[in-house]
Amino acid sequence: MKKKTPPKIILGSTSSIRKAILKNAGLGFVVRKPRVDEKALRNATTIKNAQEMSAFLAQKKALSIKADPRDLIIGSDQILEFENDQYAKAQTLEEAKKRLRIFSGKHHFLVGTTVLAKNGKIIWCHQARSRMIVRKLSEKNIDTYIERVGEGILASVGCYEVEGLGITLFKNIEGDFFSVLGLPLLPLLKALREQGASPI
């Protein structure tokens, strides 16, 4: 009997950490950049809730990618919520410095949504809300951190990379580590297994 070919996995994100997470889990996949203008989508919607906004953007990203009907497309989005305000990625290191200054000694949330799309439809959705408790940071702490990590932190919505030096900024983190990084790996692997796309 001919063995059924597993569906192709498409990561609808250019995030280096998401690529590394999937690669380390032994998944074969291709990367395609979502064909969306995220800023325009944010401005065009009346959604204010961070969870709803995250889900909206993740779905739009996944559905923007053209693929064969059997392909599985991973779409993901993460929003930082601080004192009822939503934050997108900082554009400059000076903006990142200001952001870390206001986060100092306080907590904020990373709200993430990951979806699977197939044949033009969302077939799976997972959300996570992680509480990030930042330790009290001095100006020297912030300056030294930014000098050492450079513009790489602008790829992170919180201006930190917890998989690296950014972990030193925190007093505590309440939530799944992979979700904090931007991809809820264990729930995603379960969903991929159910679709016949897991390597094991």
User: Which active-site residues does the annotation give?
Assistant: 77
**CA–CA separation, 48 and 53 (whole Å):** 7
How do 72-82 and 30-31 pair as beta strands?
unpaired
Q: How far is CA 169 from its chain centroid?
A: 19
